[in-house]
Amino acid sequence: MSEVSANLYAHLRAAFPVDLDAVAVETDSGDCYSWRDLDRGTAMLANFLQSLGLPHDARIAVQVEKSVEALMLYLATLRAGFVFLPLNSAYQSAEINYFLGDAEPAVVVCSAQNFGWVTTLAFSAGTRWVFTLNDDRSGSLLERAAQASDQHAVVSKMPDDLAVIIYTSGTTGRSKGAMLTHGNMLSNALVLKDFWGWRSAQQGGDVLIHALPIFHVHGLFVAIHGALINGSKMIWLAKFDPKLVLQHLPHATVFMGVPTLYVRLLAEPGLNHSATRHMRLFISGSAPLLLDTFKAWQERTGHAILERYGMSETIMLTSNPLQGERRGGTVGPPLPGVSLRVISGQGRELAAGEIGDIQVKGPNVFAGYWRMPEKTAEEFTSDGFFKTGDVGQLDASGYVTIVGRSKDLIISGGYNVYPAELESFINDLPGVSESAVVGVPHADFGEVGVAVVVPKPGVQLDAGQILAALKARLANYKVPKQCHVVADLPRNAMGKVQKNLLRTQYR
């Protein structure tokens, strides 16, 4: 791979259709952006970022609502060779403070609404520039970039050069920044382009309904890279709304969602064979798709949802096939180029059907955790496999089934919630002796958190107040849906809290 061609943006740009005036992105409010608009907009933003005189590895941290301009900012950051750091728009100040302190971004882009507190945090973390970008095309970023040239030469990058840092919460409290390179993302995008049979304009042209947030791997990489590296149009929904998705299905061919999106679509009476007859592919991931959902979807629409499996550190790892059997309850075989093995607690590679820890290797696997060499070393084996923290099995035909997680993690509506983070927060509340947070099944979100809290002797705790305190400080999706105040937590002979008992009791 030549130097220039390793920049992911150069590859996405090379896939733009010949007709640059064709529509690349159509929003739910009817605005259309052509491929030329994407090229010019990203050029102006890239020129503007470069005019700030930033170091080559400058991090550009972005916490904004979903918009096409936010998409352009992502692409412009790649184009200019800087490092993109997406942040969930639900994060509050304590969470943002940690990310800014850890990543030390040179530039922070936030909504005008959050400008006051974000600026205070950013400047104390050493950030030089804070700009605003709102979802109505207003804000200082676009005002400033409007002066920049719309001609820009893509900055040359090597495959191992850092492109993005994605924070993924740690099992023991501290969030870790997974460092993804241009090579990681490009290799995965190219594999998925073939594996999912993206159709070029000559083959009828795919159209993707993009209904996911753009601050995590699913919406930011799998969906956006998938469409752009194929020159495919996106129907861009600012927020998932099942009725809106139904309305757009006749004009689209590909849809991607976390399982909650499929559950909510199934609740729409208008979802049937006729509504989905124009669609080529429904893809699910980020959390387990229940077999019931898979079957109900097939019955209602005639489509077998294609389930795939991945993570922030690795992008996509496995996928059910486009042709061939899509087996509900499995995440399909490893993608081409991905080595996947299942390992016993004693480090032995397990045979088909045996359950153990999933380890992976491949060009898609990240370059390590940002400024955490020891943590990085711990998460890789001596022969270079990454320990996913997922527990599963391979069957005789190579399909992977995920049966659980060795990491203490709740996946709620496709978002990761780390019990350790919540427990440490609850334990710091006045009057709390200790706490445990566990995941229980939930019809809509798949899984949700329940907090079980023990008061200090003589203290009366109010469950509602505990939840309110969490809601005031943490991203809303992390807040447990229930809280129970109890006299003590069940423990085993070693003194370890028996979370399995709590899960059964509160399910």
Site residues for ligand AMP per CB under 6 A: 168, 217, 285-288, 307, 309-312, 331, 388-390, 402, 405, 411, 416
- Residue ranges of alpha helices (H) inside 234-390 are 242-248, 259-266, 291-301, 373-379
**In the range 369-388, which residues lie near ligand MLC by CB under 6 A?**
none
Using CB distances below 5 to 8 A depending on partner kind, what does residue 139 bind out of ligand AMP, ligand MLC, none? none
Which tokens sit at 323?
């042709």
Residue 465 in contact with ligand MLC, rule: CB under 6 A:
no
Residue 231 in contact with ligand MLC, rule: CB under 6 A:
no
**148 vs 238, which CB is nearer to ligand MLC?**
238
- Element at 73 (helix H, strand E): helix 68-79
C-alpha of 446 from chain center: 17
Minimum Å gap between C-beta 266 and ligand AMP is: 18
Residue 217 in contact with ligand MLC, rule: CB under 6 A:
yes
**231 vs 413, which CB is nearer to ligand MLC?**
413
- Element at 99 (helix H, strand E): helix 93-103
**164 vs 432, which CB is nearer to ligand AMP?**
164
Minimum Å gap between C-beta 289 and ligand MLC is: 11
Judged by CB under 6 A, which of 59, 216, 233, 405 binds ligand MLC? 216
Pairing of strands 400-405, 386-394: antiparallel
**152 vs 225, which CB is nearer to ligand MLC?**
225
Minimum Å gap between C-beta 143 and ligand MLC is: 30
Residue 401 CB coordination number (10 Å): 17
Residue 285 in contact with ligand MLC, rule: CB under 6 A:
yes
What is the per-residue DSSP string for 10-68? HHHHHTS-S-TTSEEEEETTS-EEEHHHHHHHHHHHHHHHHHT---TT-EEEEE----H
**463 vs 501, which CB is nearer to ligand MLC?**
463
As separate numbers, helices (DSSP H) first and strands (DSSP E) second, the chain gives 16, 23
Which tokens sit at 309?
């499996």
3-state SS, residue 259: helix
Residue 445 in contact with ligand MLC, rule: CB under 6 A:
yes
Q: What is the rounded distance in angstroms from the CA atom of residue 146 to the CA atom of residue 156?
A: 24
Using CB distances below 5 to 8 A depending on partner kind, what does residue 168 bind out of ligand AMP, ligand MLC, none? ligand AMP
Using CB distances below 5 to 8 A depending on partner kind, what does residue 301 bind out of ligand MLC, ligand AMP, none? none
**129 vs 240, which CB is nearer to ligand AMP?**
240
Q: What is the rounded distance in angstroms from the CA atom of residue 182 to the CA atom of residue 363?
A: 11
Site string for ligand MLC, 297-336 (x = CB under 6 A): -------------xx-------------------------
Residue 476 in contact with ligand MLC, rule: CB under 6 A:
yes
Which tokens sit at 203?
């083959």
Q: What is the rounded distance in angstroms from the CA atom of residue 252 to the CA atom of residue 238?
A: 16
Using CB distances below 5 to 8 A depending on partner kind, what does residue 41 bind out of ligand AMP, ligand MLC, none? none
Residue 219 in contact with ligand MLC, rule: CB under 6 A:
yes
Judged by CB under 6 A, which of 415, 422, 451, 502 binds ligand MLC? 415
Residue 123 in contact with ligand MLC, rule: CB under 6 A:
no
Handedness of CA 120, 121, 124, 129 (dihedral sign): negative
Cβ–Cβ < 8 Å for 313, 168:
yes
Using CB distances below 5 to 8 A depending on partner kind, what does residue 402 bind out of ligand MLC, ligand AMP, none? ligand AMP
**476 vs 504, which CB is nearer to ligand MLC?**
476
Sequence-distant (≥ 6) Cβ neighbours of residue 31 within 8 angstroms: 68
Bridge partners of residue 115, in order along the sequence: none
**6 vs 223, which CB is nearer to ligand MLC?**
223
Q: What is the 3-state secondary structure (H, E, C) of 308-345?
A: EEEECCCEEEEECCCCCCCCCCCCECECCCCEEEEECC
Residue 255 in contact with ligand MLC, rule: CB under 6 A:
no
Residue 446 in contact with ligand MLC, rule: CB under 6 A:
no
Using CB distances below 5 to 8 A depending on partner kind, what does residue 288 bind out of ligand MLC, ligand AMP, none? ligand AMP
Minimum Å gap between C-beta 376 and ligand AMP is: 15
**145 vs 311, which CB is nearer to ligand AMP?**
311
Residue 226 in contact with ligand MLC, rule: CB under 6 A:
no
Angle CA(146)–CA(148)–CA(150) in degrees, nearest 5?
A: 95
DSSP letter for 122, please.
H
Burial class (CB in 10 A: 0-12, 13-18, 19+), 499: middle
Minimum Å gap between C-beta 344 and ligand MLC is: 25
Handedness of CA 333, 339, 343, 349 (dihedral sign): positive
**332 vs 414, which CB is nearer to ligand MLC?**
414
Judged by CB under 6 A, which of 62, 83, 192, 258 binds ligand MLC? 258
Rg of the chain over CA atoms, in angstroms? 23
Rounded to a whole number of angstroms, the distance between the first and last alpha carbons of the chain is 52
**232 vs 286, which CB is nearer to ligand AMP?**
286
**170 vs 363, which CB is nearer to ligand AMP?**
170
Q: Which residues bind ligand MLC (CB under 6 A)?
A: 212-213, 216-219, 240, 258, 260, 285-286, 310-311, 412-415, 445, 448, 476-477
